[in-house]
A and B are shown apart, each in its own frame.
Chain A
Amino acid sequence: NAGVMQNPRHLVRRRGQEARLRCSPMKGHSHVYWYRQLPEEGLKFMVYLQKENIIDESGMPKERFSAEFPKEGPSILRIQQVVRGDSAAYFCASSPPVKNIQYFGAGTRLSVL
């Protein structure tokens, strides 16, 4: 069974560029979550999605950040016009329907130069 797959594992962007992070959930999981881990800090919830729907985006910054989980394909976290403060590890997790038991991917480490 493949786990939660995230790519790329490492992403380097210059200030002002766009970052696109991809996440494929575990087989049979229809719920996807994105978390951010800043250096020396804990994981912070960003957004919770089901197929074609954003359920809870209470942790998403109001500007430049967006997420989607289309009917086909992986979930995408998009960060427009990146700034140095966006440098962090971004983790995706997935869970089966009904149960809030989340399994995490290996993360994407974003570095903004």
Chain B
Amino acid sequence: TQLLEQSPQFLSIQEGENLTVYCNSSSVFSSLQWYRQEPGEGPVLLVTVVTGGEVKKLKRLTFQFGDARKDSSLHITAAQPGDTGLYLCAGGPMGAQKLVFGQGTRLTINP
């Protein structure tokens, strides 16, 4: 069974600070996706990374896929209260058309 471990599970920081969320596995994934989920809603896709070492930027968010395609990180620069939410990483196992989700990181940005 492939697992994705997200850390930290909870993170509360002040507005303007930087933060990094990690997503780790002992398994190789063909792709890695990051989602954000608001209470009572479905996950909203932020980014997909497919190449080892790939880096993608989305405004103040930077996503990286590990060289071995076993891990990923999400870095937020100058966090804002609007960044508050649940962030989920999800990996596509090799040879399978499904997603394995991490437990999520619940991020709170305090004004």
Interfacial residues, chain A to chain B (CB-CB below 8 A): 4, 6, 31, 33, 35, 41-45, 48, 55-56, 59, 91, 93, 95, 100-107, 109
Contact = CB atoms under 8 A, between A and B. Distances in A.
A103 B45 contact: yes
24 contacts: A4-B42, A6-B42, A31-B97, A33-B98, A35-B101, A42-B102, A43-B90, A43-B101, A45-B100, A48-B97, A48-B98, A56-B97, A59-B98, A100-B31, A100-B92, A100-B98, A102-B33, A102-B90, A104-B35, A104-B44, A105-B42, A107-B41, A107-B42, A109-B40
B43 interface: yes
Main DSSP-derived SS at the A contact region: strand
A95 B90 CA distance: 14
Contacts of A103: 45
A45 B101 CA distance: 8
Interface in B48-66: 48
Interface of B: 30-31, 33, 35, 40-45, 48, 88, 90, 92, 96-104
B103 A100 contact: no
A91 B43 contact: yes
Q: Which of A33, A104, A109 has the most CB of B within 10 A?
A: A104
Nearest to A10: B40
Contact of B96 (A4, A56, A102, A105): A56
Contact of A104 (B40, B42, B48): B42
B30 to A, nearest CB: 7
B98 A45 contact: yes
Nearest to B42: A104
Nearest to B92: A100
A31 B98 CA distance: 10
